[in-house]
Amino acid sequence: QSALTQPASVSGSPGQSITISCTGSSSDVGGYNLVSWYQHHPGKAPKLIIYEVTKRPSGVSDRFSGSKSGNTASLTISGLQAEDEADYHCCSHAGSFTYVFGTGTKVTVL
Amino acid sequence: QVQLQESGPGLVKPSETLSLTCDVSGGSVSRYYWSWIRQSPGKGLEWIGYIYDGGSTNYNPSLKSRVTMSVDTSKNQFSLKLTSVTAADTAVYYCARGAPGYSSGYWGQGTLVTISS
């Protein structure tokens, strides 16, 4: 069970859109529509922003959207804001009721 | 509002057992899955496993031989034990309600556990 691959860092200017990829295999990302994304500000608890690939929990901004193609899931943040600067982690069901997280991506707002 | 709070020693010696507890307030520990997740310095999150209040568990295969989780409904808390720890187990440990991706989940603030002699 290897960690899902995410870019180490992604940056963008306020108002821009950025996309974070999360690449796994047919045993995890590609095999289940159970990919979730967490936003994590240092020192705080991670916050769920996307679940089941595309769904947003109540209260999460619609600037966050998720998608999946094959073994790669993606998180898009549109209208980038200063408060979006954080670490982002993807997670996927990996069969046999187990889960695997991604390597994490640091988003910087320029 | 459900709140979770991790507690336990912040320093554990190599080869010993790491023991953490997660106190649940504002809701019952019954009828939910409860997870442990950790983040080692400079790395991503790592799912350790989860337990259902009935006692059924699922663990990360890479940690399975060293992990034990339990639920104490009388104290409204659940626990993690990780045996034979090494420096690689140094991490911030989080407890959470539900499996990863659970839309009604809650997380604790996390507790740093350092493995060092």
pLDDT per residue over B58-82, tens digit each? 999 999 999 999 999 999 999 999 9
- Judged by CB atoms closer than 8 Å, whether chains meet at B101 and A35 is answered as yes
- Judged by CB atoms closer than 8 Å, whether chains meet at A46 and B60 is answered as no
- Sign, Cα dihedral of B23, B5, A64, B41: negative
Per CB-CB distance under 8 Å, the chain A contacts of B109 are 44-45
Per CB-CB distance under 8 Å, the chain B contacts of A38 are 45
Express each pLDDT in A2-15 by its tens digit: 999 999 999 999 99
Report the candidate in B42, B94, B90 with the shortest Cα–Cα distance to residue A9: B42
Could you tell me what percent of chain B has a pLDDT over 90?
A: 87
Per CB-CB distance under 8 Å, the chain B contacts of A35 are 101
Determine contact: A59 vs chain B, CB below 8 A. no
- Judged by CB atoms closer than 8 Å, whether chains meet at B101 and A101 is answered as no
Determine contact: A70 vs chain B, CB below 8 A. no
The predicted structure's pLDDT at residue B31:
86
Task: Taking residues A22-48, report their average pLDDT.
Answer: 96
Express each pLDDT in B40-56 by its tens digit: 999 999 999 999 977 89
The predicted structure's pLDDT at residue A64:
98
Task: Taking residues B96-116, report their average pLDDT.
Answer: 93
The predicted structure's pLDDT at residue B103:
83
- Chain A nearest-CA residue for B60: A98
pLDDT value at A1 more than 80: no
Per CB-CB distance under 8 Å, the chain B contacts of A102 are 44
Name the pLDDT band for B101 (thresholds 50, 70, 90).
confident
CA distances from A20 to B34, B85, B110 (A): 28, 33, 25
The predicted structure's pLDDT at residue B82:
98
Per CB-CB distance under 8 Å, the chain A contacts of B107 are 45-47
pLDDT value at B104 more than 90: no
Nearest chain A Cα distance for residue B14, angstroms: 25
CA distances from A13 to A10, A60, A76, B29, B72 (A): 11, 21, 14, 43, 48
Name the pLDDT band for A33 (thresholds 50, 70, 90).
very high
Task: Taking residues A25-34, report their average pLDDT.
Answer: 96
Token digits of residue A73? 């899931």
Sheet holding B3-7, edge to edge: B3-7, B18-25, B77-82, B67-72
Nearest chain A Cα distance for residue B46, angstroms: 6
Nearest chain A Cα distance for residue B90, angstroms: 16
- Judged by CB atoms closer than 8 Å, whether chains meet at A104 and B107 is answered as no
- Chain A nearest-CA residue for B93: A45
Task: Taking residues B18-34, report their average pLDDT.
Answer: 94
